[in-house]
Structure 1
Amino acid sequence: MTSSLKYLGGYSPALRQQVQQLIDDGQLGAWLAKRYPDAPAHAIQNDGALYDYTQRLKQQHMRSSVAVTKVFYDARLHVIDNALGQHRFVSRVQGSKLKRKNEIKVSALLKTLPEPLLRMVVVHELAHLREKEHNKAFYQLCQHMEPDYHQLELDLRLFLTLKG
């Protein structure tokens, strides 16, 4: 397969061959447009809206988890680093207390993609509040919050492949 499929390395050869055929036929963009006809029309375009969006998802699925103190878009976070989202756990000593902050940053690229793909990345980062590693429990939690998690992850990789 060509290097244009670098985001699909972990997928089966049969799937990669299907995607390569769509690319060769110039049909990958049309296929994605059919799957996401409203793309990228979502209103989550600034840090405040992203914070509210994340908090709603957290409240809906992970009410008892630790608080998220900051959520923001980061234009420097790029897919080349193999990440479209990151979470940070920051501990600071303030007087005699240890203050813990949980931050999530999301690639600004997701402003231009369909909302379900943004939701998948936010769900992924929220799942790290409970599960630090990418293990079976982590992916079960992702699927609990977003039943189409794995399909959305593949679709996100297809958008990245299309954007080159």
Structure 2
Amino acid sequence: MDELRYLRGYGERVMDQVRALIDSGRLAELLRNRYSASHEVRDDKALFEYVVAIKERYMRKAEPLNKVIYDNKLHVVKHALGTHTAISRNHGGKLKAAREIRIATLFRDAPAEFLEMIAVHELAHLKHRDHDKSFYQLCEHMSPHYHQLEFDLRLYLTQLELAAAPSRDRDGAAGAD
């Protein structure tokens, strides 16, 4: 198992620090201490209202959203924690775009800050398709600690994967529980 797959692209110094946290068993504690607040956005209606409120605060002139839902088909292994789509439909001789955001169901139980981060990320895609400088500037405008939250979300996903993995003995072989 590549235990640090969510952190690919980060420097070796950062990777060594994360490995040290994992080896000492302190990664989960660090995340719990930093992100202890849960949220009440439990269903699709509440999620729609939550995301639209962020959109109205920062992106009033952007096209309206038609749908925002939790999607249990989005999986981290496919590198999708959220998606944004604009589905064009012919309506009365005119093309109308129905804008949808789908957020992975794992955010239903994730800390509030991570839900905000993924909502901001998907909203930024309404204006910028690519992950370029202007995209990240918009993300930081909506969530000033966006980059830290994105990194910590990667730590959180790493911790979830480690917690779900079978126990390991010292040689790295699966333990017989």
TM-score with structure 1 setting the length: 0.96
The answer as to 2:130 corresponding to 1:121 is no
1:37 Cα offset (Å): 2.5
Uncovered stretches (5+) of structure 1, i.e. residues with no partner = none
Q: Give deviations 1:47-91, integer Å, cap 9, x for gaps.
A: 000000001000000001111110000011010110110000100
The alignment partner of 1:3 has SS state of: coil
1:36 Cα offset (Å): 1.3
1:99 Cα offset (Å): 1.1
TM-score with structure 2 setting the length: 0.89
Larger radius of gyration: 2
Other-structure match for 2:26: 27
The count of corresponding residues between Structure 1 and Structure 2 is 161
Other-structure match for 1:58: 55
The alignment partner of 1:158 has SS state of: helix
1:128 Cα offset (Å): 0.6
Other-structure match for 2:14: 15
**Paired residue type of 1:146:** S
**Paired residue type of 1:97:** K
The alignment partner of 2:74 has SS state of: coil
The answer as to 2:89 corresponding to 1:88 is no
**Paired residue type of 2:9:** G
Equivalence map 1:1-164=2 (5 Å): 3-38=2-37, 41-164=38-161
Uncovered stretches (5+) of structure 2, i.e. residues with no partner = 162-177
Q: 2:36, 2:111 within 8 Å by CA — same for their partners in 1?
A: no
- Runs (4 or more) in structure 1 with deviation over 3 Å come to none
Structure 2 CA distance for aligned equivalents of residues 120 and 66 of structure 1 = 20
Percent of pairs identical after alignment?
46
Structure 2 CA distance for aligned equivalents of residues 10 and 152 of structure 1 = 16
1:94 Cα offset (Å): 1.8
